[in-house]
Amino acid sequence: MSELPPFVLYFIAAFLVPASRGMVRKIILLATPIVAALHIGLNVDAGILSTYSILNLELTFMRTDKLSLLFAYLFCLASFIATIFALQVNDTKQQVAGLVYAGSALGAVFAGDLITLFIFWELLAISSVVFIWARGTERAIHTGMRYLIFQVLSGVFLLAGALVHFHATGSLAFEHIGLGSVAGWLIFIAFGIKSAFPFLHGWLTDGYPEATATGTVFLSAFTTKVAVYALARGFAGEEILVYIGITMACFPIFYAVIENDLRKVLAYSLINQVGFMVTGIGIGTALALNGAVAHAFSDVIFKGLLFMTMGVVLHRVGHVNGSNLGGLYKSMPKTTALCIVGALSISAFPLFSGFVSKSMVMAALVQEDYSYLWLFMLFASAGVFHHAGIKIPYFAFFAHDSGLRPREAPINMLIAMGLAATLCIFIGAQPQYLYSLLPWEVDYWPYDATHVLTQLQLLFFSALAFVWLNKRGIYPPELRSTNLDAEWIYRKFLPASIHRGLIFFRTARESAMTAAIAPMRSICRSFSQSSMAKYHLSESWPTGSMVLWISIILVAYLLLDIFAYG
């Protein structure tokens, strides 16, 4: 049993769900992550290596260590909470997709070779796009296609890198790869697309807000976190990741502040938080790597909680546009309170989960003499408090009274959000339990005077700035608008450029044809009026004469063939 890959349990459940109905189906959906987690806890230990030979290739479907086990527990937990949240959804496609999606994430973190990783990498893409297409709108269909193109492109880079790596080294093992080869760069780009690196992130901010109310909760938990795991496994200590991570943490703030769609605000916030993880991986020390994976663990829970609260608003109201919301706390007090817990967690308030993980990365920056970059991350921390810690709950539930009085969230949604909120507080108050799961030795405690006072000062002055900007009318208002960043290149610039290019070539071709045909017509007209064309080539050779001469030539050819070669 110890060598049974946990993803098999999810795939078996995915086959059983379409054949079941009602309560039986719900039991299968809820039991799968519980059974998988128990199987991992009771039967799967660090150090297991299960290999299979396929077409003379040695593939490893099960390679376990503390890094893969931590992400495995996280994905089981995330799928359990997301399943509870979506329990009222009676859509077989989404239910099967959720099981395949979570199972593929588990398969990826246990994959011991690049080909196995590629297989689950592509299954993640195929299963996740279902949550966007399930929305059923024309916009969601187009968005899903753009999303899928990016995901498949990531897989193409991964497969190309794996083949080049195998040709160069004779090995497909998924260990530390580095950037010292062409294969390393190809695989790095593949991981970068799924991590939402700058200019490669459009699929996330474009696709996640168009998913179903429950589907976004699944999407927020798996794809980027599998990529973070892959970066930690293959590229830990690559300094370029520090600068990429800093950029990821900073640039989404400006877009999130002006965005009206609150789920898109959270999508930008997701990139911001992944930036902290990427930075920790780039630093590469034990403290930084522990901080990166610990923050991945915390982020799945508090970001899932925030996406769940906005999913409830979408479910009850029909939209999540900040310009048309406000005052919802009057009829949705429980959802409001749970949203505030998520906001405090993502803002890294002491005693909440974000504080005990994000502070590890911040401390590692200082320890490794990245003090000037620490200032950028301090700005990013203040920014996330503005756009996720304050903006999300304020404009959704308070701000101005929109007059909307939707019902409170369904009981299953409240249970899922309550579990996530409880974990946010428990991890924040008792971080030693999370620290005990971390892959590297932990010699860190977040609750000292320096960390606590620094963070409280940052949060206090950030809140003060928000209040002052809002009172002065300087803070960007919630406007009914669609904001494009990097996706402007392929949604606006490229289509317009291609259209203009086609018009140019069509016009150029017509001009060239006109320029070439006009002289030819003039020559033909002049020749047709000449005496040679009129008498020698036309009237003096009637059709009957031509037929006669053709017959004579044919007879001569036949006689020549008979007597000369007969």
Q: State pLDDT tens for residues 327-336.
A: 899 999 999 9
**Res. 506 pLDDT band, cuts 50 70 90:** confident
CA 465 → CA 380, 392, 557, distances in Å?
15, 16, 102
pLDDT one-digit tens code per residue, 377-387: 998 988 888 88
Residue 108, pLDDT > 80, answer: yes
> Nearest-CA neighbor of 343 among 402, 232, 420, 278?
420
Q: Provide the pairing of β-strand 57-63 with 49-54.
A: antiparallel
**Res. 491 pLDDT band, cuts 50 70 90:** low
Q: What pLDDT is recorded for position 542?
A: 60
Longest dimension (CA), the chain: 117
49 strand-pairing partners: 63
Q: Specify the amino acid at residue 312.
A: V
Give the whole-angstrom CA distance, residue 414 versus residue 416: 5
Read off the pTM. 0.86
State mean pLDDT over 459-466: 82
Give the whole-angstrom CA distance, residue 224 versus residue 200: 12
Q: Poorest-confidence range of 80-84, 315-319, 378-382, 503-507?
A: 503-507
Residue 121, pLDDT > 90, answer: yes
Q: What pLDDT is recorded for position 482?
A: 64
- CA atoms 73, 79, 82, 84: torsion sign: negative
**pLDDT: which is higher, 261 or 468:** 261
State mean pLDDT over 517-537: 64
Scan for tokens 């795939």, then name that residue: 11
Q: What pLDDT is recorded for position 486?
A: 66
Percent of all residues in the chain with a pLDDT value above 70, rounded to a whole number: 90
Query: For residue 135, what are the contacts with CB-CB under 8 A and spacing of at least 6?
Result: 210, 211, 212, 215
CB atoms within 10 A of CB 528: 11
Give the whole-angstrom CA distance, residue 515 versus residue 513: 5
Based on DSSP, count helices (H) and strands (E) in the chain, helices before strands: 24, 2
**Res. 502 pLDDT band, cuts 50 70 90:** confident
